Every structure is written in C-alpha cells, then in structure tokens.
C-alpha cells in the first residue's frame, strides 16, 4: 500500500494557480488550511482587515456611505408600485382638506359670534366648497389623458376671459387687491382657475414642440410670451403679487421639465429679480411690507402687527399646542385669522407636532406627484404633473415662509387649509387631474402584469412644431 505523506502544518499554502490575490487588500496569507484560517482569510480579502481601506463612496460599516443612502432615498421616492402613488396623493389630499375644515371652524368662529350669520357661517361655506371640489376631483380623476389634453385650450380661453372680467364692473376689490369677481352674493377668484389652465395648456403645447424646445424661440413662444405675459399682466393689474409669483413658478417648472436650457433660466431669473425690485420701489404698500419684514416697526397698528402676532401664536404653541379651539391670537389679534395666517393658529393650537404633521402631508403629496411624473413616458403627463406640483407645494412653501418671517407678507393662501372657496375648489380639481394620470398608470401596469407600467398614451411625445 502506498501512503501519501501529509503536508506539514507549519507550511503555508500559496495562492491557487492561475489566480492573483486582490491588490490593496492587505490580507496576510493563511496560517493553515483549517476552516477558521480560511474564514479569517476571507474576511481579510473582503477588506475587513486593519490594513484595508474603505471602498470609494462607502464607510467601514457595511459599505453604507453617501451613495448607499442616496440610492435608498431615490428608491423611496420612486415607490414600489403604481397604486402607491394614487393612494398616497389621495390620502394626503383628504387629510389636508379635513384639517383645513377644522382649522377654519376654529379660527373663524370667535370673530363671527357677533355676526348675524352665526359662528359657523364660514365653516359651512368652506364645507360646501370642499364638497364641490371633491366632486370635481372625482370627475376629473375618471377622465383619460386624451380628454384632459383636449381640455387644455378651452380651459386657457375661459381663464383669460375670467381674468378680463375683473377689469369690468363685475370686479371686486378685497384688501387692496382687485382680483375677484362678484355676481350677486357669489364671489370668485379667476386667478385660481388660471393656474390649472396654465399647467394643462403648457403641457399640451410643449409636448408638441418636442426637441425644438432647446431653441430660444420655442422656449419663449408661446408659453412665456404671449400667454405667460398676458396672465401675469392681468394678475398684476389687480395688484396681486402673490398669485403672480405662483404663476411665474408654474411657468418656470413646465419649461424646465420640457428641457429648456439652464442658461435661459439664469437670464430669466435676473430679469425677474430686477422686475421684483422695481415693483417694490414703485409701490408704497409693498415698500412698507418689506420694511416691516426687515424689522423697521414703530407702532402697534403698522404692517408689523399681523406678522408679529403670528409669531407670538407659533411661539405660544410649544410642542403640543394649547389645544384645539384654545388659541388666544384668534381673538382679533390676528385679523382674518382664517385666511393667509391660518397656519399660525394651527401652530398655536396643535403645537409643533401639528405643524410638522401638515408639513409631512405636503411632503407626501409632493412625493406622490413626483412618482407620477417620474414613471411616465408621456411628456404631457410629466409636464402637467410637474406644473401642478410646483403650484401647490410652491404656494404652500411661500405661505409658510411668509407667516414664519422668512418672506415678506405678500398675501398667498395655504392650499387646502386657508379659507377660500375658489382656492380649495381648483386645488382639488388639480389633484383630480394628477389622480387621473396615476390611475391610468396603475391600469397599464396591471395590464402588463408588472404593476409599474407607464401611462397609456398612444400619441407620440416628440412631435415637432412647424
């Protein structure tokens, strides 16, 4: 019998023939061929040894570096399935609407006690507009993309006609802004309809331009000029600077999503900044508001009064708030607390927790709309959703920045929360448009059995304008 001599234990085994050790690992050769030694060598080869350096974009804790967390955040934004976008948008919308009704009741009941209509008057009106808005939202959410596309031009024409009616005897002035229409006891704000019409119309036009949007003339005509200029001009005639800012935000969003060059945005931003400075200097009312924002206040009745008491309300709310209905500042310290400064009453009664809840709901709404715009192959859906997202979330950002002192008071309501039938109705209608896009994406996903298919849109997205 021939016996094979055993290899001495003290002898180390070299690397396998034809294989090279990983450079830069710093792993020492194994002391033996035992399983424990091989495991130690494997850990060293993976970079766990003291001489190994971390891989680029990672840390020593399992490779969870900035790139890892960025991928996780991006995966969260995109979501798991197409149905998640629909229910996320719907849930956040309903929650914000309910919170808005509660806060309108709480903030308006005190000053309306002495009115002949009773303390529940504004709440009942807002509830009626909420019911109408929800009905419009459900109706629009059942429409197809082609039908919504065909509504673009009629919606724009109607919005421009309504804005022009403000300049007629039907126009009604409120707090220095002539941006209302009053027919008998009913009043409405046409600029709210213009925001939704602009998002729909710009998406339909920019979809047809396709790759031509990279040229300057196609970036300017007709979205920026003449349509954007007409809408801004009609709004500015009514001295509504806040709505004009929101419209400019929508125009910038749709042009950016269409692929306009960043150089054009830089030039347009410089022109807008110069225009804002000129408008502030030529208007005594705006100059006083800017001075108040900078802290130049001397009297209790000057423009500092409302924002100052708004900050008092937020400060007195603390972590958990004074309790629902227990606000002190709504007792005529903050004029018309149910309007633009309703977020301060919310912070006073529900505290920092309640304020963060509202911010979280707006963030959830933004994430849901971002998912709809991200998943689609339709240029129309992407641009329209992005414009509506910029409108609602951008307006919320401006309002909250205004009442917390980060921006001057410019008179912009908080979507879903502030009192106002026109604002609530058209914001809910805009959400209905996005829900229609999300529903169509989910239906397409179920048809292919994947759950995340793109929206069904048979029209080509890169048509060139002639």
Whether 134 contacts 416, CB under 8 Å = no
Residue 371: Cβ within 10 Å count: 26
Mean pLDDT (the chain, rounded):
82
Residue 462 has what pLDDT? Answer: 46
Bond from prior residue into 95 cis (ω within 30 degrees of 0): no
Find residue 186's DSSP bridge partners: 183
d(CA 321, CA 60): 43
d(CA 201, CA 207): 10
How far from chain centre, in Å, is Cα 266?
Answer: 22
Strand, helix or coil for residue 402 = helix
The encoded tokens of residue 272 equal 């807008």
d(CA 100, CA 344): 13
Residue 278 has what pLDDT? Answer: 82
Residue 63 has what pLDDT? Answer: 55
d(CA 11, CA 31): 8
16: region left, alpha or beta (phi > 0 left; psi from -120 to 50 alpha): beta
Terminal-to-terminal C-alpha distance of the chain: 94
Helix (H) or strand (E) holding 388: helix 379-403
Residue 466 has what pLDDT? Answer: 39
Strand, helix or coil for residue 50 = coil
**Residue 377, CB-side half-sphere exposure with 13 Å CA sphere:** 12
Residue 199 has what pLDDT? Answer: 98
Closest CA to 428 of 14, 214, 135: 135
d(CA 238, CA 166): 8
Low-confidence ranges of the chain (pLDDT < 70): 1-63, 74, 76-82, 116, 298-302, 446-466
d(CA 353, CA 355): 5
Closest CA to 130 of 108, 159, 105, 100: 100
Tell me: the pLDDT tens digits for 218-247?
A: 888 999 989 999 999 999 888 888 899 999
Residue 52 has what pLDDT? Answer: 46
Strand, helix or coil for residue 405 = coil
Angle ∠(418,423,425) on CA atoms, nearest 5: 115
Whether 99 contacts 84, CB under 8 Å = no
d(CA 56, CA 201): 46
Interhelix angle 229-237/152-165, rounded to 10 degrees, is: 30
Whether 375 contacts 367, CB under 8 Å = no
């Amino acid at each position: 019998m021939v016996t094979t001599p055993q290899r001495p234990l003290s002898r180390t085994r070299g690397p396998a023939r034809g294989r090279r050790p990983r450079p830069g690992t710093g792993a020492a050769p194994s002391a033996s061929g035992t399983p424990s030694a091989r495991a130690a060598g494997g850990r060293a080869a993976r970079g766990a040894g003291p001489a190994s350096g971390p891989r680029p974009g990672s840390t020593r804790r399992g490779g969870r570096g900035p790139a890892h967390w960025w991928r996780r955040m991006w995966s969260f934004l995109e979501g798991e399935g197409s149905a998640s976008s629909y229910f996320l948008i719907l849930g956040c919308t309903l929650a914000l609407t309910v919170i808005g009704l509660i806060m309108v009741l709480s903030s308006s009941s005190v000053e309306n006690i002495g009115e002949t209509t009773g303390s529940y008057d504004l709440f009942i009106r807002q509830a009626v507009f909420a019911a109408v808005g929800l009905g419009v939202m459900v109706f629009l959410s059942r429409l197809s993309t082609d039908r919504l596309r065909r509504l673009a031009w009629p919606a724009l024409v109607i919005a421009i006609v309504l804005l022009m009616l403000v300049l007629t005897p039907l126009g009604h002035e409120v707090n220095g802004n002539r941006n209302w229409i009053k027919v008998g006891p009913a009043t409405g704000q046409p600029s709210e309809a213009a925001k939704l019409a602009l998002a729909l119309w710009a998406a339909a036009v920019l979809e047809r331009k396709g790759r031509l949007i990279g040229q300057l003339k196609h970036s300017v005509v007709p979205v920026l000029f003449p349509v954007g200029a007409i809408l801004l001009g009609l709004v500015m005639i009514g001295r509504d600077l806040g709505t004009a800012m929101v419209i400019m935000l929508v125009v910038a969003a749709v042009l950016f999503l269409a692929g306009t060059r960043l150089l054009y945005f830089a030039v347009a931003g410089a022109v807008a900044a110069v225009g804002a400075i000129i408008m502030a200097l030529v208007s005594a009312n705006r100059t006083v508001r800017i001075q108040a924002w900078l802290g130049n206040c001397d009297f209790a009745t000057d423009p500092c009064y409302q924002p100052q008491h708004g900050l008092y309300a937020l400060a007195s709310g603390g972590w958990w708030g004074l309790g629902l209905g227990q606000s002190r500042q709504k007792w005529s310290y903050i004029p018309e607390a149910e309007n633009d400064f309703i977020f301060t009453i919310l912070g006073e009664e529900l505290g920092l927790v309640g304020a963060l809840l509202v911010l979280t709901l707006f963030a959830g709404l933004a994430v849901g709309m971002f998912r709809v715009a991200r998943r689609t192959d339709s240029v129309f859906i992407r641009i329209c959703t992005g414009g509506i997202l910029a409108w609602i979330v951008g307006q919320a950002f401006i309002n909250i920045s205004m009442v917390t002192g980060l921006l001057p008071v410019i008179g912009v309501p908080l979507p879903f929360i502030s009192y106002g039938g026109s604002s609530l109705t058209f914001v809910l209608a805009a959400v209905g448009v996005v829900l229609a896009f999300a529903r169509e994406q989910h239906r397409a996903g179920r048809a292919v059995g994947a759950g995340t298919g793109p929206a069904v849109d048979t029209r080509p997205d890169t048509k060139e304008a002639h």
